[in-house]
């Protein structure tokens, strides 16, 4: 269990340093995201788009729990989407929100992700 948490922390560090050439250490070739197989290339594209939309994006684990194949994390964000984010006109406002997310591992790699981002919290901050 500790090993999986360590791998997960290394994955988050990989995202925060935008080390896209290391993403294959953590992400399965045929990874599924919210019910759809997007694969490693699609996953990398999604993350790169996230950083274009939110240049100051930073992943901060707040709660973390794992068993031998599943990791759950509450990530918190304090960042500045430059335009539309989740179909909301954030337009450079600084917002704080959370993402509660589960990761199914296959060996040392993430094979499936179920993510929910707190859109309602963002809406309340841009009214």
Q: Which residues bind a second copy (CB under 8 A)?
A: 63, 65-67, 70-72, 74, 86-87, 98-102, 104, 114-120
Residue number, 21 or 87, with CB nearest to a second copy = 87
Smallest distance, a second copy to C-beta of residue 64, A? 8
Q: What are phi and psi of 17, to 5 degrees?
A: -100, 10
CB of 19 to a second copy, least distance (A): 26
Q: Which is nearer to a second copy, 19 or 65 (CB)?
A: 65
- Min separation Cβ 122 and a second copy, Å: 10
The three-point CA angle 86-122-119 to 5° equals 50
Residue 34 beta carbon to a second copy: minimum distance, rounded to whole angstroms: 9
The number of C-alpha atoms within 13 Å of 83 and in the hemisphere containing its C-beta is 6
Of 19 and 86, which CB lies nearer to a second copy in the complex structure? 86
* 108 vs 115, beta carbon nearer a second copy: 115
Question: Tokens 């993510």 correspond to what residue?
Answer: 115
Length of the chain in terms of residues written: 127
**79 to each of 48, 56, 59, 88, 96, how far by Cα in Å?**
16, 6, 10, 14, 7
């Amino acid at each position: 269990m500790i090993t999986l948490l360590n791998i997960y922390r290394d994955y988050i560090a990989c995202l925060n340093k935008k080390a896209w050439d290391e993403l294959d250490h953590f992400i399965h070739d045929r990874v599924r995201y919210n019910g759809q197989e997007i694969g490693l290339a699609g996953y990398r594209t999604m993350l790169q788009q996230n950083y274009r939309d939110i240049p100051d994006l930073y992943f901060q684990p707040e709660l973390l729990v794992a068993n031998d194949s599943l990791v759950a994390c509450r990530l918190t964000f304090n960042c500045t989407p430059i335009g539309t984010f989740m179909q909301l006109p954030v337009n450079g406002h600084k917002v704080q929100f959370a993402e509660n997310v589960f990761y199914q591992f296959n060996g040392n790699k993430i094979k499936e992700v179920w993510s929910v981002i707190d859109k309602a919290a963002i809406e309340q901050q841009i009214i």
